[in-house]
Amino acid sequence: MVYVHQAPAMAARPAHGITVRRLTPKDAAAVVGLGPGAAWIHKTWGGPEQLASSGLCWGAFHRGRALSLACTYFLGSAYENVAALADPGHRRQHLALACVTALCQDIAARGRTASWTCSRDNRPSRLLAWSAGFRLTREYVHYATGPARRLAFPGAKAA
């Protein structure tokens, strides 16, 4: 499913003591602190240091600890595809929404359009996209060729 940012985001007010801000190179350790399950979000950047230094990632922090991130996952000439995650212990607190909202404002300021892609089966991702102001523009079928193997996606349930 492909979404494009089109509508104002739902207001997200993080709890007292939580700061939403752009990551800096000093935040690489906080990105690592999200654990191995978060590696998918910084893998396309070459690692946590590169993501934190990119200038294209926003995070929700409490006492120096990253609780949620939203970043440009793929950067194009007109679009920036957004990815987000929240620490499992801090989900349903609108932290990812606050990070995505800040990132989308940043993307618009750069003159680009924020996009979002996810599987039809990823309901939490679809709800986050909708709450952040993304609207569905099209659906497509993704085919893969080659030897059969088990694919692991963030948030996928084990079979």
User: What integer best gives the mean pLDDT of the chain?
Assistant: 88
Name residue 125's amino acid.
Answer: S
pLDDT of residue 97: 95
> Which residues make Cβ contacts (< 8 Å) with residue 134, sequence separation at least 6?
3, 4, 5, 6, 7, 114, 115, 116
Beta strands in 95-147 (DSSP E): 113-117, 134-138
Residue 66's nearest CA partner among 33, 105, 25 is 33
pLDDT of residue 90: 82
Supply the pTM of this predicted model: 0.84
pLDDT in tens, 38-96: 999 999 899 999 999 999 999 999 999 999 999 999 999 999 999 999 988 888 889 99
Judge whether residue 156 has pLDDT over 80: no
Judge whether residue 144 has pLDDT over 70: no
Buried b (16+ CB within 10 A) or exposed e, 38-66: beebbebbeebbbbbbbebbbbbbeeeeb
pLDDT of residue 91: 84
pLDDT of residue 158: 47
Judge whether residue 101 has pLDDT over 90: yes
pLDDT in tens, 16-36: 899 999 999 999 999 999 999
